[in-house]
Structure 1
């Protein structure tokens, strides 16, 4: 019953908040994750109002919209979200907003190239931002969608996206150069949850996550024991916590490994499902990626 009352509440807010816009009023864009917010701002510049729902350290797998979020969403002209059920708890709200354009960034990617997952609702791993080639495709996709919404600003959006794509390609070169300093037999990445499979596929890392692809699934005792055995067998030096996932799971894994006379360090905190603090290098997609790779390589050397 509460579910239907909530959906009715959302529908009423959407209906009541949509008013006629003045001709000179900027488009209101709402984004879900901080990675998407950063991308849209790079492409749109100051030509639209961009509001992100999820900030630093927020886990999109478990995120629930507040009344304030519903108000933001209902006042949006376009909502950009990841798709592939990353924001699973927001899907019902999006479905009720039939008079608002919603854009799933995952629609820019050929499904045949995605990493499959029988454990996730979409049957695909949703952590697509960790493939920089995907992010380049998505940047152009966002520019095209904004150009459709504001044709008079098309040249600006396309120029901004072209500039940002150059920066993303430079990032690829930097990442590859840093990773090449790490011997191939040491490229085994163990983290709190399985967010780094696209990264692993792109850069030759074997990836293991304690919680699986979604943080909604809890790690059990057997998961900890199995992964600790894997760490010992492969003589892994360091494992990593994540900024958007409680560190207790990795600390439990470290304790299990150390109890078997194999020392494993916590190599640092990685940004997985959210960027760092706004205003810092890690608060941008490019800065986040550089930080992650430097942290991984330095800890595993």
Structure 2
């Protein structure tokens, strides 16, 4: 019943919403997650009117569009979203926008290389931003669609993309250098949910999440017990909370481990499904990645 009311609300809103496009002649672009907003900012810079729907600490798995969000989407010329069911609650909104240019950035990636799952609706892990090489492909993908929409600015977008990819190449080297400080047997990353599998695949970490790929699934008592036994068996020194996931489940895991005689610390907060606060180092994709890696390596040493 509640779902039907929501769909009806969206339908009525689209029928009655007035176009509020800015009058500066620039393309109106809307992005969903903070990572996509940051990427489009680097490629487009001030050549478009860019609005991101989600802010710091927002969980895209559970995010619901507000009336203001629907207005932004209605007035957009281009909408960039992650896809792969990351923004699960926005699917209903996108379905009402068949005449809009909605672009899933995950389409940039060869699906044969994605991490699959038997337990997630899309059958693919949506956390693609934790593979830097994937993010470079997404940068090229975004540049293409921006250039298609504004051909006269294509040279600008190409130049910005080139600069950004150079920064990503530098980031990748710095990440490898930092991870080299950690012996292979200590590269076990235990987090609140399965957001870091692409990170683990790219940088040779064993990654275990207490919850599944989507935070819409709850961790049960047996999940906590099984993971606590794994932590003791592997002698893991630290586990991590995430900025967009309540920390109570990780605290329960810590308590379960400690009750069995093995001391495990909470190694710090990681940014998984959202960047940090705007204006901070962690508020950018590159800054977030560096912060996460430093936090992980320093806690696991």
TM bucket, shorter chain: over 0.9
Corresponding residue number in structure 2 for 1:223: 223
User: Unaligned regions of 5+ residues in structure 1, if any?
Assistant: none
Corresponding residue number in structure 2 for 1:126: 126
Corresponding residue number in structure 2 for 1:11: 11
Corresponding residue number in structure 2 for 1:270: 270
Match status 1:107 vs 2:107: yes
Corresponding residue number in structure 2 for 1:170: 170
Q: CA deviation at 1:21?
A: 6.7
Corresponding residue number in structure 2 for 1:257: 257
CA contact (8 A) 2:44 2:146 kept: yes
CA contact (8 A) 1:14 1:75 kept: no
Corresponding residue number in structure 2 for 1:34: 34
Corresponding residue number in structure 1 for 2:47: 47
Mapped to 2, the partners of 1:152 and 1:24 lie a distance apart of 16
Q: CA deviation at 1:23?
A: 8.5
Q: CA 1:260–1:26 in 2, change beyond 3 Å: closer, same or farther? A: same
Corresponding residue number in structure 1 for 2:140: 140
CA contact (8 A) 1:11 1:97 kept: no
Mapped to 2, the partners of 1:128 and 1:183 lie a distance apart of 25
Corresponding residue number in structure 1 for 2:209: 209
CA contact (8 A) 2:192 2:250 kept: yes
Q: CA deviation at 1:17?
A: 3.9
Match status 1:232 vs 2:229: no
Corresponding residue number in structure 2 for 1:150: 150
User: Unaligned regions of 5+ residues in structure 2, if any?
Assistant: none
Q: CA deviation at 1:20?
A: 9.6
Corresponding residue number in structure 2 for 1:246: 246
TM-score by length of 1: 0.97
**Structure-to-structure mapping, 1:47-66, within 5 angstroms:** 47-66=47-66
Mapped to 2, the partners of 1:126 and 1:147 lie a distance apart of 25
SS at match of 1:192: strand
Q: Deviations 1:84-133 (Å, cap 9, x if unpaired)?
A: 00001101110111221000000000000000011111100000000000
Corresponding residue number in structure 2 for 1:199: 199
CA RMSD of aligned residues (A): 1.4
Mapped to 1, the partners of 2:109 and 2:297 lie a distance apart of 29
SS at match of 2:46: coil
Matched positions, count: 301
TM-score by length of 2: 0.97
Q: CA deviation at 1:14?
A: 3.0
Q: CA 1:20–1:262 in 2, change beyond 3 Å: closer, same or farther? A: closer
Corresponding residue number in structure 1 for 2:299: 299
Corresponding residue number in structure 1 for 2:73: 73
SS at match of 1:210: strand
